[in-house]
Amino acid sequence: MGRAPCCDKANVKRGPWSPEEDAKLKSYIEHHGTGGNWIALPNKIGLKRCGKSCRLRWLNYLRPNIKHGGFSEEEDNIICSLYVSIGSRWSIIAAQLPGRTDNDIKNYWNTKLKKKLGGKQPPNQVSHPNILSSMQTHHHLITDPTSTSISHLNLNACTTQLPISPTNINHHHDDMISFQLPQPHHSLFINSTNLPSSSATTENNTNTNTSSHDSPTIFQAAFQSFPINHHDFTHFVDVKTEQQVLEDAMLDLAMDMDLGIIMSSTQTITTSPSSHITSQSHHPFISQTQTIMPQFHCAFHDATYFGMQ
């Protein structure tokens, strides 16, 4: 037995809205509000429309400050980065773009951005719907309970300091060191675009000419080095703000899952051996400034949990 229909389909108008219908709906809501009941709204106004249809029309077209078309490059970047991070959570993505609706962004993605990105897939659909709640649960992130917006995440609990001692540091080159992480399943910030092209083994590689340190654009830097043979890549430590930590953790997680790269029990980190750990950090989508800190923070997540469950 299915759910009861929200309205009498035989007695409601469907299809495109007329200017008169728009005017009625807009005028009524501006003067009286929705009354918290969309289903009852059409009757009050005298519209032969389904309540859900009224809601959609208002949210997507009639409410104030709605923007249509003309997506900026910055908006492209935000959409792409969030899509790679959290998948098709259009309402969350729309919440980051004032004036944009989830429907608009969804259409824009499906018709424009997806093609430009060459068909890159979002995170594992099995896992990603719970990514935010999982991160909150397992890393004690505190969120504003009234908001699902990523920007409200409290990042303070998302960082930890790695105990680096002389015993687990290995010197490889004059300018490079590596060391082992002490705990299993801690994955790191892995920015594929940090990888020198010579160390990133690529398959079906058709475009590796662009320097990874160029100012990244979504179409130039993103996934440029993918797919990577995971036996042959080196993790570069990023030193970054806590805000960046979360953004990158989410993006890197998405990429790990997309690529099937699951963190093993130990990780090698390579960075430059100065008194301050510094590393160039180019996110696939988000350009970020260089940060230098006397000690670095490392956000971690349980890759096994996210990737395998």
Cβ(48)–Cβ(42) below 8 Å: yes
Q: Which stretch binds DNA (CB under 7 A): 15-23, 72-80, 149-157, 236-244?
A: 15-23
Taking CB under 7 A as the rule, does residue 177 contact DNA?
Answer: no
Taking CB under 7 A as the rule, does residue 4 contact DNA?
Answer: yes
Contacts to DNA from residues 21-40, by CB under 7 A: 34, 36-40
Q: Which is nearer to DNA, 89 or 283 (CB)?
A: 89
281 to 102, 162, 195, 220, 278: CA distances (angstroms): 31, 19, 10, 16, 9
Taking CB under 7 A as the rule, does residue 14 contact DNA?
Answer: yes
Instruction: Using alpha carbons only, give the angle 238, 241, 243 rounded to the nearest 5 degrees.
Output: 115
Q: Kindly give, in sequence order, each residue whose CB lies less than 8 Å from that of residue 158, ignoring residues fewer than 6 positions away.
A: 135, 139, 141, 242, 245, 246, 249, 299
Sole binder of DNA in the list 8, 10, 15, 64 (CB under 7 A): 15
Taking CB under 7 A as the rule, does residue 17 contact DNA?
Answer: yes
Rounded to a whole number of angstroms, the minimum distance from the CB of residue 281 to DNA is: 29
**Distance of alpha carbon 127 from alpha carbon 125, whole angstroms:** 5
Sole binder of DNA in the list 11, 16, 173, 209 (CB under 7 A): 16
Cβ(212)–Cβ(282) below 8 Å: yes
Q: Which is nearer to DNA, 126 or 176 (CB)?
A: 126
Contacts with DNA, 49-88, as mask; x by CB under 7 A: -xxxx-xxx--xx------xx------------------x
**Distance of alpha carbon 68 from alpha carbon 79, whole angstroms:** 15
Sole binder of DNA in the list 92, 162, 222, 254 (CB under 7 A): 92
Sole binder of DNA in the list 106, 120, 230, 297 (CB under 7 A): 106
Q: Which is nearer to DNA, 78 or 190 (CB)?
A: 78
Closest CA to 243 of 294, 187, 283, 303: 283
Q: Which stretch binds DNA (CB under 7 A): 23-31, 45-53, 188-196, 250-258?
A: 45-53
**What single string gives the DSSP state of each residue in 210-255?**
S-TTSPP-TTTTTTTT-SB-GGG--EEPP---HHHHHHHHHHHHHH
Q: Which is nearer to DNA, 13 or 26 (CB)?
A: 13
